[in-house]
Amino acid sequence: MKIAIVNDMPLAVEALRRALAFEPAHQLVWVAANGAEAVQRCAEYTPDLILMDLFMPIMDGVEATRRIMADSPCAIVIVTGDSQQNVHRVFEAMGHGALDVVDTPALGVGNPADAAAPLLRKITNIGWLIGERNKRERPPAAQRAAVSRKSLVAIGSSAGGPAALEVLLKALPRDFTPAIVLVQHVDEVFAAGMAEWLGSVSGHTVRLARQGEMPQSGTVLLAGTNHHLRLLKDGTLAYTAEPVNEIYRPSIDVFFESVAQYWSGDAVGVLLTGMGRDGAQGLKLMRQQGYVTIAQDQRSSAVYGMPKAAAAIDAAAHILALDAIAPRLLEIFTP
Protein backbone atom coordinates (compact mmCIF):
# COMPACT_ATOMS: atom_id res chain seq x y z
CA MET A 1 0.00 0.00 0.00
CA LYS A 2 1.25 3.49 -0.88
CA ILE A 3 1.13 5.57 2.32
CA ALA A 4 1.71 9.25 3.12
CA ILE A 5 2.39 10.84 6.51
CA VAL A 6 1.13 14.30 7.51
CA ASN A 7 2.77 15.39 10.76
CA ASP A 8 4.91 18.32 11.89
CA MET A 9 6.67 16.41 14.69
CA PRO A 10 9.94 14.70 13.59
CA LEU A 11 9.73 12.12 16.40
CA ALA A 12 6.18 11.16 15.41
CA VAL A 13 7.19 10.87 11.75
CA GLU A 14 10.11 8.64 12.72
CA ALA A 15 7.84 6.46 14.89
CA LEU A 16 5.45 6.01 11.96
CA ARG A 17 8.33 5.26 9.56
CA ARG A 18 9.61 2.54 11.88
CA ALA A 19 6.14 1.07 12.32
CA LEU A 20 5.58 0.89 8.56
CA ALA A 21 8.97 -0.79 8.11
CA PHE A 22 7.61 -3.90 9.85
CA GLU A 23 5.45 -4.52 6.77
CA PRO A 24 7.58 -4.50 3.58
CA ALA A 25 4.47 -4.28 1.38
CA HIS A 26 3.88 -0.72 2.59
CA GLN A 27 5.63 2.08 0.72
CA LEU A 28 6.04 5.56 2.18
CA VAL A 29 5.50 7.88 -0.80
CA TRP A 30 5.69 11.34 0.81
CA VAL A 31 5.71 13.25 4.09
CA ALA A 32 4.02 16.62 4.64
CA ALA A 33 4.68 18.88 7.62
CA ASN A 34 1.26 20.54 7.67
CA GLY A 35 -2.23 20.29 6.26
CA ALA A 36 -1.76 22.84 3.50
CA GLU A 37 1.26 20.98 2.16
CA ALA A 38 -0.68 17.71 2.39
CA VAL A 39 -3.53 19.08 0.26
CA GLN A 40 -1.05 20.15 -2.41
CA ARG A 41 0.96 16.90 -2.30
CA CYS A 42 -2.20 14.82 -2.45
CA ALA A 43 -3.39 16.66 -5.55
CA GLU A 44 -0.04 15.93 -7.21
CA TYR A 45 0.17 12.29 -6.08
CA THR A 46 -2.78 10.70 -4.30
CA PRO A 47 -1.67 7.80 -2.07
CA ASP A 48 -3.74 4.81 -1.03
CA LEU A 49 -3.74 5.96 2.60
CA ILE A 50 -2.81 9.08 4.58
CA LEU A 51 -1.75 8.95 8.24
CA MET A 52 -3.01 12.37 9.34
CA ASP A 53 -2.10 14.23 12.52
CA LEU A 54 -4.74 16.48 14.12
CA PHE A 55 -2.77 19.51 15.28
CA MET A 56 -0.36 21.21 12.87
CA PRO A 57 0.55 24.78 11.89
CA ILE A 58 -0.95 26.51 8.82
CA MET A 59 -3.80 23.97 8.45
CA ASP A 60 -4.88 21.33 10.98
CA GLY A 61 -5.80 17.72 10.26
CA VAL A 62 -9.55 18.29 10.33
CA GLU A 63 -9.49 20.97 7.62
CA ALA A 64 -6.89 19.04 5.61
CA THR A 65 -9.13 15.96 5.72
CA ARG A 66 -12.09 18.01 4.51
CA ARG A 67 -10.17 19.48 1.58
CA ILE A 68 -8.51 16.23 0.55
CA MET A 69 -11.80 14.32 0.60
CA ALA A 70 -13.36 17.06 -1.53
CA ASP A 71 -10.55 17.37 -4.08
CA SER A 72 -8.37 14.22 -4.07
CA PRO A 73 -10.23 11.60 -2.01
CA CYS A 74 -8.36 8.70 -0.48
CA ALA A 75 -8.39 6.69 2.74
CA ILE A 76 -7.37 8.74 5.80
CA VAL A 77 -6.56 7.53 9.32
CA ILE A 78 -6.15 10.09 12.09
CA VAL A 79 -2.94 9.41 14.01
CA THR A 80 -2.55 11.52 17.12
CA GLY A 81 -0.62 11.55 20.37
CA ASP A 82 -3.71 11.39 22.60
CA SER A 83 -6.89 10.50 20.76
CA GLN A 84 -8.90 10.16 23.96
CA GLN A 85 -8.28 13.81 24.87
CA ASN A 86 -9.18 14.98 21.36
CA VAL A 87 -12.27 12.89 20.76
CA HIS A 88 -14.45 15.75 19.45
CA ARG A 89 -11.80 16.76 16.91
CA VAL A 90 -11.45 13.12 15.87
CA PHE A 91 -15.18 12.93 15.15
CA GLU A 92 -15.00 16.19 13.20
CA ALA A 93 -12.36 14.61 10.97
CA MET A 94 -14.41 11.43 10.63
CA GLY A 95 -17.36 13.59 9.68
CA HIS A 96 -15.31 14.85 6.74
CA GLY A 97 -14.42 11.31 5.65
CA ALA A 98 -11.56 9.99 7.80
CA LEU A 99 -12.00 6.25 8.26
CA ASP A 100 -10.45 5.55 11.64
CA VAL A 101 -8.16 6.80 14.39
CA VAL A 102 -5.17 5.35 16.22
CA ASP A 103 -2.64 6.65 18.72
CA THR A 104 0.88 7.41 17.49
CA PRO A 105 3.15 4.38 18.12
CA ALA A 106 5.46 4.87 21.09
CA LEU A 107 9.10 5.39 20.11
CA GLY A 108 11.76 3.71 22.24
CA VAL A 109 9.29 2.23 24.74
CA GLY A 110 8.87 -1.54 25.06
CA ASN A 111 8.85 -3.90 22.09
CA PRO A 112 8.81 -1.90 18.81
CA ALA A 113 6.76 -4.58 17.04
CA ASP A 114 4.11 -4.49 19.76
CA ALA A 115 3.98 -0.69 19.58
CA ALA A 116 3.48 -0.84 15.81
CA ALA A 117 0.83 -3.58 15.90
CA PRO A 118 -2.31 -1.42 16.42
CA LEU A 119 -1.40 0.87 13.52
CA LEU A 120 -0.50 -2.00 11.20
CA ARG A 121 -3.75 -3.77 12.07
CA LYS A 122 -5.73 -0.65 11.12
CA ILE A 123 -3.81 -0.37 7.84
CA THR A 124 -4.46 -4.03 7.01
CA ASN A 125 -8.18 -3.61 7.61
CA ILE A 126 -8.30 -0.51 5.43
CA GLY A 127 -6.36 -2.32 2.72
CA TRP A 128 -9.12 -4.91 2.63
CA LEU A 129 -11.74 -2.18 2.73
CA ILE A 130 -10.49 -0.09 -0.18
CA GLY A 131 -9.64 -3.21 -2.17
CA GLU A 132 -13.02 -4.82 -1.39
CA ARG A 133 -11.28 -8.19 -1.48
CA ASN A 134 -12.68 -11.54 -0.50
CA LYS A 135 -16.15 -10.17 0.21
CA ARG A 136 -18.19 -13.23 1.07
CA GLU A 137 -21.62 -13.94 -0.35
CA ARG A 138 -24.29 -13.97 2.31
CA PRO A 139 -26.96 -16.62 2.66
CA PRO A 140 -30.63 -15.64 2.45
CA ALA A 141 -32.21 -14.52 5.70
CA ALA A 142 -34.24 -17.08 7.58
CA GLN A 143 -37.94 -16.56 8.17
CA ARG A 144 -38.56 -13.71 10.60
CA ALA A 145 -39.65 -14.60 14.11
CA ALA A 146 -42.41 -12.63 15.81
CA VAL A 147 -40.58 -10.93 18.66
CA SER A 148 -41.83 -7.36 18.76
CA ARG A 149 -44.48 -5.05 17.40
CA LYS A 150 -42.53 -1.88 18.18
CA SER A 151 -40.93 0.41 15.63
CA LEU A 152 -37.21 0.50 14.85
CA VAL A 153 -34.88 2.66 12.79
CA ALA A 154 -31.65 0.78 12.03
CA ILE A 155 -28.87 3.09 10.81
CA GLY A 156 -25.45 2.22 9.43
CA SER A 157 -22.63 4.65 8.66
CA SER A 158 -18.88 4.81 8.17
CA ALA A 159 -16.60 7.51 6.72
CA GLY A 160 -18.40 10.82 7.11
CA GLY A 161 -20.86 9.18 9.48
CA PRO A 162 -20.47 11.28 12.64
CA ALA A 163 -21.37 14.51 10.83
CA ALA A 164 -24.21 12.81 8.94
CA LEU A 165 -25.60 11.31 12.15
CA GLU A 166 -25.47 14.72 13.81
CA VAL A 167 -27.56 16.24 11.00
CA LEU A 168 -30.04 13.34 10.96
CA LEU A 169 -30.59 13.14 14.72
CA LYS A 170 -30.87 16.92 15.12
CA ALA A 171 -33.69 16.90 12.58
CA LEU A 172 -35.70 14.32 14.53
CA PRO A 173 -37.84 15.61 17.41
CA ARG A 174 -36.92 14.49 20.91
CA ASP A 175 -40.24 12.69 21.23
CA PHE A 176 -39.58 10.60 18.10
CA THR A 177 -41.26 7.29 18.97
CA PRO A 178 -39.29 4.52 17.21
CA ALA A 179 -36.23 3.00 18.81
CA ILE A 180 -32.99 3.91 17.00
CA VAL A 181 -29.94 1.65 16.78
CA LEU A 182 -26.73 2.94 15.16
CA VAL A 183 -23.84 0.91 13.79
CA GLN A 184 -20.92 3.23 12.99
CA HIS A 185 -17.48 1.98 11.99
CA VAL A 186 -15.54 3.22 15.03
CA ASP A 187 -13.07 1.48 17.33
CA GLU A 188 -14.50 0.49 20.70
CA VAL A 189 -12.11 2.80 22.58
CA PHE A 190 -13.86 5.77 20.94
CA ALA A 191 -17.42 4.47 21.00
CA ALA A 192 -18.33 5.87 24.42
CA GLY A 193 -16.92 9.27 23.45
CA MET A 194 -18.90 9.22 20.23
CA ALA A 195 -22.14 8.40 22.07
CA GLU A 196 -21.53 11.28 24.49
CA TRP A 197 -20.71 13.65 21.62
CA LEU A 198 -23.76 12.64 19.58
CA GLY A 199 -26.00 13.15 22.59
CA SER A 200 -24.56 16.60 23.26
CA VAL A 201 -24.90 17.84 19.67
CA SER A 202 -28.26 16.24 18.84
CA GLY A 203 -30.27 16.69 22.03
CA HIS A 204 -31.25 13.01 22.06
CA THR A 205 -30.39 10.41 24.69
CA VAL A 206 -27.52 8.48 23.11
CA ARG A 207 -25.63 5.67 24.82
CA LEU A 208 -23.86 2.41 24.05
CA ALA A 209 -26.03 -0.65 23.43
CA ARG A 210 -25.83 -3.15 26.29
CA GLN A 211 -25.72 -6.90 25.99
CA GLY A 212 -29.16 -8.39 26.58
CA GLU A 213 -31.27 -5.22 26.32
CA MET A 214 -34.02 -4.50 23.83
CA PRO A 215 -34.15 -1.46 21.52
CA GLN A 216 -36.31 1.12 23.26
CA SER A 217 -38.30 4.18 22.34
CA GLY A 218 -36.71 7.49 23.22
CA THR A 219 -33.15 6.17 23.29
CA VAL A 220 -30.52 6.04 20.57
CA LEU A 221 -28.30 2.99 21.03
CA LEU A 222 -24.82 2.86 19.46
CA ALA A 223 -22.87 -0.34 18.83
CA GLY A 224 -20.09 -0.08 21.38
CA THR A 225 -17.49 -2.81 20.86
CA ASN A 226 -15.32 -4.28 18.11
CA HIS A 227 -17.66 -7.28 18.08
CA HIS A 228 -20.74 -7.26 15.89
CA LEU A 229 -24.10 -6.13 17.24
CA ARG A 230 -27.06 -8.27 16.30
CA LEU A 231 -30.71 -8.72 17.20
CA LEU A 232 -31.58 -12.12 18.65
CA LYS A 233 -34.73 -14.17 18.26
CA ASP A 234 -36.07 -13.00 21.64
CA GLY A 235 -35.73 -9.35 20.60
CA THR A 236 -32.65 -8.56 22.68
CA LEU A 237 -29.35 -7.18 21.44
CA ALA A 238 -26.13 -9.14 21.68
CA TYR A 239 -22.48 -8.72 20.79
CA THR A 240 -20.80 -11.55 18.93
CA ALA A 241 -17.36 -12.19 17.44
CA GLU A 242 -18.94 -14.15 14.58
CA PRO A 243 -18.43 -13.88 11.68
CA VAL A 244 -14.74 -13.61 12.49
CA ASN A 245 -13.77 -13.07 8.83
CA GLU A 246 -15.89 -9.91 8.54
CA ILE A 247 -13.45 -7.02 8.01
CA TYR A 248 -15.93 -4.38 9.16
CA ARG A 249 -16.17 -4.41 12.95
CA PRO A 250 -18.86 -3.76 13.99
CA SER A 251 -20.52 -4.82 10.74
CA ILE A 252 -23.61 -3.03 9.47
CA ASP A 253 -24.51 -6.04 7.32
CA VAL A 254 -24.55 -8.31 10.37
CA PHE A 255 -26.96 -6.02 12.23
CA PHE A 256 -29.25 -5.34 9.26
CA GLU A 257 -29.44 -9.07 8.50
CA SER A 258 -30.46 -9.84 12.07
CA VAL A 259 -33.19 -7.18 11.87
CA ALA A 260 -34.44 -8.73 8.62
CA GLN A 261 -34.47 -12.12 10.31
CA TYR A 262 -36.01 -11.39 13.69
CA TRP A 263 -37.76 -8.01 13.87
CA SER A 264 -41.49 -8.18 13.11
CA GLY A 265 -42.65 -4.68 13.99
CA ASP A 266 -42.34 -1.65 11.74
CA ALA A 267 -38.75 -0.89 10.74
CA VAL A 268 -36.70 1.30 8.44
CA GLY A 269 -33.12 0.61 7.39
CA VAL A 270 -30.95 3.65 6.65
CA LEU A 271 -27.50 3.43 5.05
CA LEU A 272 -25.44 6.59 5.23
CA THR A 273 -22.08 7.77 3.89
CA GLY A 274 -19.12 5.39 3.98
CA MET A 275 -16.37 3.70 2.01
CA GLY A 276 -16.77 0.13 0.80
CA ARG A 277 -19.89 -2.05 0.62
CA ASP A 278 -20.83 -2.83 4.22
CA GLY A 279 -24.57 -2.60 4.80
CA ALA A 280 -25.67 -2.99 1.18
CA GLN A 281 -26.50 -6.71 1.36
CA GLY A 282 -28.13 -6.35 4.77
CA LEU A 283 -30.25 -3.45 3.52
CA LYS A 284 -31.36 -5.57 0.58
CA LEU A 285 -32.45 -8.35 2.92
CA MET A 286 -34.46 -5.84 4.93
CA ARG A 287 -36.18 -4.67 1.73
CA GLN A 288 -36.90 -8.24 0.70
CA GLN A 289 -38.62 -8.75 4.05
CA GLY A 290 -40.89 -5.81 3.36
CA TYR A 291 -39.18 -3.08 5.38
CA VAL A 292 -38.66 0.46 4.13
CA THR A 293 -35.04 1.05 3.10
CA ILE A 294 -33.22 4.35 2.53
CA ALA A 295 -29.75 5.16 1.21
CA GLN A 296 -28.08 8.57 1.27
CA ASP A 297 -27.60 10.16 -2.14
CA GLN A 298 -24.25 10.91 -3.78
CA ARG A 299 -24.42 14.69 -3.51
CA SER A 300 -24.80 14.75 0.27
CA SER A 301 -22.45 11.82 1.03
CA ALA A 302 -18.93 12.58 2.23
CA VAL A 303 -17.90 9.21 0.75
CA TYR A 304 -20.29 7.64 -1.74
CA GLY A 305 -19.30 4.02 -1.30
CA MET A 306 -21.77 2.10 0.87
CA PRO A 307 -24.88 3.94 -0.38
CA LYS A 308 -23.70 3.51 -3.96
CA ALA A 309 -23.28 -0.23 -3.39
CA ALA A 310 -26.83 -0.38 -1.99
CA ALA A 311 -28.23 1.52 -4.97
CA ALA A 312 -26.39 -0.77 -7.39
CA ILE A 313 -28.15 -3.89 -6.06
CA ASP A 314 -31.55 -2.19 -5.66
CA ALA A 315 -31.38 -2.47 -1.88
CA ALA A 316 -32.74 1.01 -1.21
CA ALA A 317 -36.38 1.83 -1.91
CA HIS A 318 -35.53 5.52 -1.49
CA ILE A 319 -32.34 7.42 -2.43
CA LEU A 320 -32.47 10.65 -0.43
CA ALA A 321 -30.34 13.67 0.38
CA LEU A 322 -29.22 13.68 3.99
CA ASP A 323 -31.52 16.54 4.96
CA ALA A 324 -34.52 14.69 3.47
CA ILE A 325 -34.09 11.50 5.50
CA ALA A 326 -35.49 12.76 8.82
CA PRO A 327 -38.64 14.23 7.19
CA ARG A 328 -39.18 10.90 5.42
CA LEU A 329 -38.86 9.03 8.72
CA LEU A 330 -41.42 11.34 10.29
CA GLU A 331 -43.81 10.65 7.40
CA ILE A 332 -43.37 6.91 7.76
CA PHE A 333 -43.97 6.82 11.49
CA THR A 334 -46.69 9.47 11.75
CA PRO A 335 -50.11 7.77 12.17
Active site residues: 158, 185, 278
Determine the Cα–Cα distance for residues 302 and 163; give it in Å rounded to an integer: 9
Antiparallel, parallel or unpaired: β 228-231 and 237-240: antiparallel
**Pairwise CA distance, residues 293 & 289, whole Å:** 10
Please tell me the distance from the alpha carbon of residue 258 to that of residue 225, in angstroms, as a whole number: 17
Exposed, middle or buried: residue 23 (CB in 10 Å: 0-12, 13-18, 19+)?
middle
Residue 39 to residue 96: CA distance in whole angstroms? 14
What is the DSSP code string of 116-171? HHHHHHHHHHHHHHHHTTTPPP-PPPPPPP----S-EEEEEE-TTHHHHHHHHHHT
Which helix (H) or strand (E) element contains residue 79? strand 75-80
Residue type, 127: G
Identify residue 45 by its one-letter amino acid code.
Y
Terminal Cα distance for the chain, rounded: 52
Distance from the Cα of residue 144 to its chain's centroid: 27
Name the residue among 300, 235, 236 with its Cα closest to residue 263: 235
